[in-house]
Chains A and B, each alone.
Chain A
Amino acid sequence: MDDPLSRALREDEQGISNAHENGQSTPNVADSDCLENASSLSISHSHNDWILPSTNERREEVEVNEEQIKIYVGDPKKHKSNLDSFITYLVTTQTYNDGVQINETNVRRRYNDFVWLKNLLDVKYPFNIISPLPVKHTLSKKLHVVADDGEFIRRRMNGELNKTQKSELVFHFRKCSGLQNFLRRIINNPVISIDPSVQLFLTADDEALHSAQQQPNPTSPLTPQMTSSTSNPFRQPIGRGKPIPSEFSRTDNQIQTLQDNLRKLERLSRKIESDQIAIHTEEEHLLSTFKQWLDTERKYDENDSLVETVCNAEQKIVDNQDDLLRTTNTKYIEPINEHVLFTGIVQDVLKRRAQFSDNVTAGNNEEMFDQLTIANETIKADVQRWTEGKDKELMDLFHSMANKKVDFYTQSVNAWEQAAAKLSTPTNQR
């Protein structure tokens, strides 16, 4: 079956790490590890060919003799201190060896802690693609209330006004998956995952973290001259006869196209969601008219079984639609948004590289030239890893979204066919 397979592959993607707290592997095999990561999937395929697959054991057999780290972010809780109130999330790190859990660490972190980590990593690893963070506020959600209907606005406003507290907490639950993805992708990157700050973030208690945060920011490997010039958006990354830049400009174009497509997809998905909500409102209305009809039949002692059957079927449809709608935004639209942000990050990294490359040409410095070569390699590896990750994640996303629809329509078919069957038996009244 496909689902367990894709799930297993997803676990591979997020869990494979050659670095863990015991520090088994060293940084200079990072590149070859990347390659192994890239092709480990093909290895796992061939493993599965001759190892008899059973859903539970597959994961462990793939990970033979490899460490695996799983990260979970959840349990948002409100904290009130003297100065302000904020939300913290529980970050759980589990280490496995051969499928056996050998360690688990739990820490509480707030959003700003994540921001601190990201900024630190951005500066320290300018040529690595670092996952985006989910947005802090729900502003993006309110923006797309494109009201084509007074009913639509009314419904959302009623929902939100009555449950402001609840919706806040719901929003924070949604952020958890974004934060989780952020950490998982960091762990996935063999170079970054062993960075001491990352380890600190995952394991240190509050005091140690705070003192680390107080220290001055680490210096960037880029010279200040370059960091400032990267902020200039108007400098064109023109290749100066070097063979590498053309490859990167091709990548740049690809990323841009991808970003455009993802943006269109997000817009269209939001439109479809609002169409769905409109349908849901009308279905509820239709259901209420059926119920009125049912009441009328009952009032005059007429045969109500016919209308009742239809009512019940319609009720099921309405309930299922409700379920489907509840998860559309979080499970589908927001991940797409995340990918849009991600493409932006990749573009930034490429820009940085281009600036650096220009400066290297200008400076004609041997050491900087070496740095450029390393940067290029890092970027290539990261882009490849990112592309594969993106492909897989998008496939899974579309697959699960379509699967939800399949479930919904299966339930609809059943509900209506049952109702039709009930309606074909003659009444006893004859």
Chain B
Amino acid sequence: MTEEHSTLFDRYDIQISNTERRNSSIAIQDCYIVYLIECRLKANKEDESICVFRRYSDFETLRNYLVAKYSWVIVPVLPEKTISHTWSKSHQDRTSVEVVERRRVLLERFLQHVCAHPTLSADSAVQTFLLQNDGWKHIVDTSHVLNKSESLIPSFKLNLMQHERTKDKRFLDAYQYAIDLNNVLHNVLRARAKLADRIFLYYQSHNQLGRLFSEWSTTEDKLGDSLQRAGHFLDSFAGQIEEYLHEEDALMDFLKHQASYCDVIKSVVEKHEQLVEDNSKQETTLGVKRTQRDAYATGKMNFSVNALKSKLFGENDQTRYAKIETMDSDINDAVLHCQNADIRVKEFNKNALIELDFYKTMKEEQMREILRSYCLLQARIAKAALKSWTNIRDSFSNGQTPI
């Protein structure tokens, strides 16, 4: 029993251990990166690990499939397709070593989260994606999930919210929060990128200052010694910052990751909206059918066409009863539809709310980690600067005795 309920994550160690550059054609520019996924059974470490190569678009396809099929699930997000909010132009090149590495980390995280999710990890497409070379694409294609017009058009989404069909505050709040949080996080990311630019320029200026001091020291007598030492420390100060800024950039990836989840939340709520609307449509239809049938049965029909019909074709009681029976069975069908729609909504809501709660806890943990890492990084940057400036200051101290 436990075997069936365990997730892929429980059973396997999953890693993206390596990356490779491949060419899709002879042209040099047509290259892409593949990621090597390794899965090794936890139970038996001696076993060889199963290896597959996947590229980014494969991940995308898999994820779209999962989103469409399990619409109440908050499916883990992928790293961004195009680099945004970066401080250095060099990171625009998506095949550079650093960028690939950052992506690798986030793709690994994606896989691990998917495999830890009980519903998602049970999906056959996911399992074949990880454990077999081919076959997953076939599963995805034949599921027809991606072709369904379940995917909502943007304008349609907006209309849903405006009509406020759901009175469910939890979903409304989640939606609004997702929108606001997304905005706010992007503002933070933008501001940080600009700040990083400025900081870099500031440190560069100190390079020039160090050079000036070094040159000046050659023409000074007593001051020369201090100037030379200070110049040396200024150079080392100026050189510190680039590495830290790259590290900060990589850290921002995780913040962007969090922002992406906001979009996922939004689509889950939109799906909820759609189901609720569906449900109410069914109910409306049912109501209409019932009214019609009752009206027909009691003979209170005022439609001149039907009155004419019955006179022309000589309706008798038999045909009337037959008609009422058809309508009744129709109504029964509609009742069934309604019940189904109702169940669907309830099921969806129940699961979606579980997902939302789970997401909240996870988000808080991750945010804590991100913010903590940010603070630690800033502390390290300040510490390194402190060390340099202490040395610079001490080059100019008059005392000959060391402290």
Contacts and interface: CB of A to CB of B under 8 A. Distances in A.
Interface stretch (B46-54, B189-197, B305-313): B189-197
B7 to A, nearest CB: 22
A264 B399 CA distance: 28
Interface residues on B, range: 35 or more
B184 A303 contact: no
Contacts of B185: 293
B386 interface: yes
Contacts of B187: 289, 292-293
Given A286-B195, A289-B188, A300 B219 contact: no
Interface of A is mostly: helix
Contacts of B206: 272
Contacts of A258: 219-220
B372 A424 contact: yes
A285 B191 contact: yes
A122 to B, nearest CB: 28
B96 interface: no
A65 interface: no
A279 B195 contact: yes
A221 to B, nearest CB: 32
Contacts of A328: none
Contact of A276 (B202, B221, B386): B202
A300 B176 CA distance: 9
Contact of A420 (B176, B222, B375, B397): B375
B343 interface: no
B192 A405 contact: no
A420 B209 contact: no
Nearest to A417: B379
Interface string B142-153: 000000000000
B208 interface: yes
Contacts of B403: 1-2
Contact of A394 (B194, B199, B223): B223
A417 B198 CA distance: 23
A412 B390 CA distance: 14
Given A307-B371, A416-B378, A257 B398 contact: no
Nearest to B233: A402
A391 to B, nearest CB: 5
B205 A271 contact: yes
Interface size class of A (residues with CB under 8 A): 35 or more
Given A261-B212, A289-B187, A391 B364 contact: no
Given A254-B219, A293-B184, A417-B379, A310 B371 contact: yes
A310 B360 CA distance: 20
Interface string B257-280: 000000000000000000000000
B399 A5 contact: yes
A9 B378 contact: no
B382 A413 contact: yes
Contacts of A290: 188
B212 A399 contact: no
Residue among B194, B198, B206, B392 with the highest chain A CB neighbour number at 10 A: B198
B160 interface: no
Shortest 8 CB-CB contacts between residues of A and residues of B: A402-B393, A416-B379, A409-B386, A412-B382, A420-B375, A282-B195, A399-B396, A2-B397
Interface of A: 1-2, 5-6, 9, 254, 257-258, 261, 264-265, 268, 271-272, 275-276, 278-279, 282-283, 285-286, 288-290, 292-293, 296, 299-300, 302-303, 306-307, 309-310, 313, 391-392, 394-396, 398-399, 402-403, 405-406, 409-410, 412-413, 416-417, 419-420, 423-424, 427, 429-430
18 contacts: A261-B212, A265-B212, A278-B201, A285-B191, A293-B184, A299-B177, A300-B180, A302-B360, A391-B223, A396-B398, A398-B396, A402-B393, A406-B390, A409-B382, A412-B385, A413-B383, A424-B372, A430-B361
Interface of B: 173, 176-177, 180-181, 184-185, 187-188, 190-192, 194-195, 198-199, 201-202, 205-206, 208-209, 212, 215-216, 219-223, 226, 230, 360-361, 364, 367-368, 371-372, 374-376, 378-379, 382-383, 385-386, 389-390, 392-394, 396-399, 403
